[in-house]
Structure 1
Amino acid sequence: MEYVASLAFAKEQDQKDPLRKFREQFLFPQRKGKDAIYLCGNSLGLQPRNVKAAIEQELADWQQCAVEGYWGAKHPWLYYQQYCSKPLTSIMGASQQELTVMNTLTVNLHFMMLSFYKPTKQRFKVLMEAGAFPSDQYAVETQVKFHGFDPESAIIEVSPRPGEQLIRTEDILEIINRESNSLALVLFGGINYYTGQFFDIPAITAAAHRAGAYAGFDLAHVAGNIPVQLHDWDVDFAVWCSYKYLNGGPGAVGGAFVHEKHAGNRGFPRLGGWWGNEERIRFKMEKGFVPKDNAEGWQQSTAQVFNMVSLKASLELFEEAGIKALRNKSIGMTNFLEFLLQQLKGINFEIITPNNCNERGAQLSLLFKDKGKEIHQQMTDAGIIVDWREPGVIRVSPAPMYNSYQDVFHFYEIIANIASNA
């Protein structure tokens, strides 16, 4: 597409947008009596309008049914996780048997590592990206210690080359090959939270398997942003949160994928919990954990209905819109954002996100050489909601479900005004 830096062009694109009706299905924060320019779906998605009615339905069922709501509610609570896992199949590229929603992201990461990180004296190392989100770093560090290893020798971090911001795929693959005799697990973020780089999941997974290691991914910034094919790519496990692009609400339930070759193996190690036990015998209350032969075999406790209901409501919109259509719009908007930012003069920043749209999602990370926090505050004062990440990045993410080309253009107008007054 050939872009034009004008409001008229942005309006024209919005008129052509087959997904434009979905914007009206979300509630925007207000700034000075107007909708804020909200480009922060990478951090917390907006509230869908259908969430209120969905919560009220569960409240009514709780009131009317009490404990009988587990089988007598409009949406029986016994199977509540499945109301979310079914719509996720197309988004994550997996069968419903390979998916579940439970707990939160880091809790799920720990549970998955307890299953998939099985170090031996020779094969004990974990490979991850340098600069991974802190919770991933903390989880890996403490898991390694839990198994009696020293993080200094057990954790390998892949860094960008000197003078570069992004990690080269060939460097990841070379290290996997080099450490093939000692590697137990490759654990990467699908998208690096800071740079916005989308990693080559199938290539990393294939290399890990050639090395005799498992491959797992934190897809916090991928889920609902970029469609993936976890089953076909042979990923062993993945975890994610649902409060970002999936619009599940603050602290919403997390998600997990376990490939069917592991999920269908009742003997595969995991920590047991009542809700992960085989349903046919769950209520016999007998000794002996018999896990479900699917990803739900990793569940621990009763479905968190009120922590799942907002995600369920949001996923109804995803099913209607379609993840492929959302991705196509996302590429167009982020490319437009990149084009507009390249027109700016008088402001000192660098886009450190890959310029290839296939190597990024909705997010562009703007690295400021100086005055970054000051500029972020000026954006905030002007009605823009984006986020700041130390030491110098403003992350800007137009979410295709509710953002418009006009949002992107108005962001550009405001930052151009800031630049002209710098």
Structure 2
Amino acid sequence: MQFENTLSFAKSLDLKDELSDYRSQFHFPKVNNKPVVYFTGNSLGLQPKRTKKFVDEIMADWGDLAVEGHFHASKPWWDYHERLAEPLSHIVGAKKEEVCVMNTLTVNLHLLMVSFYRPTSKRFKILCEEKAFPSDQYMLQSQVRHHGFEPSEALVEVAKRDGEHYWRTEDILAKIEEIGDKLALVLIGGVNYYNGQVFDMQTITRAGKAVGANVGWDLAHAAGNIELELHEWEVDFAAWCSYKYMNSGPGNASGIFVHERHLKNDKLQRFEGWWGTKKDTRFLMKPEFESTHTADSWQLSNPPVLSLAPYLASLEMFDEVGMEKLIKKQKLIVAYLEFVLREIDKETEGSFEIITPADRGCQLSVFLHGQGRKLFDYLMENGVITDWREPNVIRLAPAPFYCSFEDMYRFGQILKSGIER
């Protein structure tokens, strides 16, 4: 398609957009009494308007039924979490029994590492990307210390090459082969939060398992954003948050994946609680844990249904549309955003560069040359909600559910005005 950096062309793309009706189903903040151009769905997705109905339903049942809501609510609370598994399995490429919603992201990664980081005196190293998201760094450091190792010895970080903004798959594979039988775990962010790069998860997973390591993925920036086939890729485990591309609300519940080959392994170590026991005997208060032989067995406590309700509301939308259509629009709108950026860059004589590689999802990270924080502040003051990362990067994530092509054009004009100013 031959793009044009004009308002009429952007509007023509919106007219052809089969997801355009969903834009009106979200609440938009306003600046200067106009809806913003919202680029931070990679940090917190907008609120779907249907969310309130799902939350109000629980509040009404709580008021009318109190404790009886566990079994007699319109959506009984004791199995509320089960309603999320089927639509989530479609999003992450899993079987229903491999998926569960519980806790929050780093809590879940810690719990999963109880099962999948079982170091020995010989096989104890963990491979991750350099400058992983800080929470992952803290988690990995604390895990290896818990097992009596020093992070400097146990953690192996794969770096980007000098002068490059992204990781090369061949460098990761080479490092896996180099560590060999000392490698206990590969744990990488599937989509890098800083530069938006999508890692070749299938190839890296295959390489990690070939040397006998377990392989897990932090999918915080991947779930609801890119195509995932966790079951087919034979990933051991994964976890993700729900409040970014899946629009479930600030700090909301996390999802987990555990491959089916591990589900019936009763010798697998994990931390356990009563909500992970068999459903039909859970309330008999038996002294011994009985696994459900599903991902539900990693649950500890009864689910926080007021948190799950917004997640279920959003998953209903994902189920209506399907990941195929979302990814189709994502690719087109990100390509158009890139085109607009490059046109503005020509007109402003090289004021910035895009540091996101071609292997990407719904994010372009832009390194500003000489503009700095003042340009970011100008964008925010003029109705472009974006994200600042040190030293000089803004992250742009046009989520396909609610961003329009006209938004991309409007952003370009505001950006150009800010640079010229």
Indicate the residue corresponding to 1:191 in structure 2: 191
1:264 CA displacement: 2.9
Answer yes or no: is 1:25 the counterpart of 2:25: yes
Contact 1:275 1:299 in 2 (8 A): yes
Partners of 2:66 and 2:102 lie apart in 1 by: 22
**Structure 1 counterpart of 2:352, which letter?**
F
Indicate the residue corresponding to 1:244 in structure 2: 244
Partners of 1:393 and 1:309 lie apart in 2 by: 35
Partners of 1:265 and 1:278 lie apart in 2 by: 15
Partners of 1:104 and 1:369 lie apart in 2 by: 37
1:21 CA displacement: 0.7
Contact 1:349 1:366 in 2 (8 A): yes
Partners of 1:263 and 1:9 lie apart in 2 by: 51
Indicate the residue corresponding to 1:293 in structure 2: 293
1:71 CA displacement: 1.2
Where in structure 2 are the equivalents of 1:138-153 lying within 5 Å?
138-153=138-153
Partners of 1:9 and 1:416 lie apart in 2 by: 18
Answer yes or no: is 1:348 the counterpart of 2:348: no
Partners of 2:8 and 2:218 lie apart in 1 by: 39
Partners of 1:231 and 1:176 lie apart in 2 by: 22
1:348 CA displacement: 2.2
Contact 1:128 1:187 in 2 (8 A): yes
1:282 CA displacement: 1.1
Determine helix, strand or coil for the equivalent of 2:142.
Answer: helix
Indicate the residue corresponding to 1:129 in structure 2: 129
Contact 1:372 1:394 in 2 (8 A): no
**Which has the higher mean CA deviation after the structures are superposed, 389-398 or 366-375?**
366-375
Contact 1:276 1:299 in 2 (8 A): yes
1:316 CA displacement: 0.7
**Which has the higher mean CA deviation after the structures are superposed, 379-388 or 363-372?**
363-372
**Structure 2 counterpart of 1:390, which letter?**
E
**Structure 2 counterpart of 1:143, which letter?**
Q
1:19 CA displacement: 0.7
Determine helix, strand or coil for the equivalent of 1:256.
Answer: strand
Contact 1:272 1:291 in 2 (8 A): no
Where in structure 2 are the equivalents of 1:333-372 lying within 5 Å?
333-344=333-344, 345-346=347-348, 348-354=351-357, 356=358, 359-372=359-372
Indicate the residue corresponding to 2:308 in structure 1: 308
Where in structure 2 are the equivalents of 1:14-413 lying within 5 Å?
14-344=14-344, 345-346=347-348, 348-354=351-357, 356=358, 359-413=359-413
Indicate the residue corresponding to 1:417 in structure 2: 417
Aligned residues: 418
Partners of 2:195 and 2:39 lie apart in 1 by: 16
**Structure 2 counterpart of 1:353, which letter?**
T
Identity of aligned residues (%): 47
- 1:111-170 superposed Cα distances (whole Å, 9 cap, x missing partner): 011110000000000000001100000000000000000000100000001111111000
User: Normalized against structure 1, the TM-score is what?
Assistant: 0.98
- 1:28-75 superposed Cα distances (whole Å, 9 cap, x missing partner): 001111111111100100000001111111000111111111111111
Determine helix, strand or coil for the equivalent of 2:81.
Answer: helix
Contact 2:94 2:230 in 1 (8 A): yes
Partners of 1:62 and 1:127 lie apart in 2 by: 46
Contact 1:245 1:399 in 2 (8 A): yes
**Structure 1 counterpart of 2:108, which letter?**
N
1:341 CA displacement: 0.6
1:15 CA displacement: 0.3
Contact 2:31 2:381 in 1 (8 A): no
Partners of 1:138 and 1:256 lie apart in 2 by: 20
**Structure 2 counterpart of 1:44, which letter?**
L
Determine helix, strand or coil for the equivalent of 1:187.
Answer: strand
- 1:363-394 superposed Cα distances (whole Å, 9 cap, x missing partner): 00011233321110010011110010112210
- 1:195-216 superposed Cα distances (whole Å, 9 cap, x missing partner): 1000000001000000100000
Partners of 2:192 and 2:123 lie apart in 1 by: 26
Partners of 2:322 and 2:181 lie apart in 1 by: 42
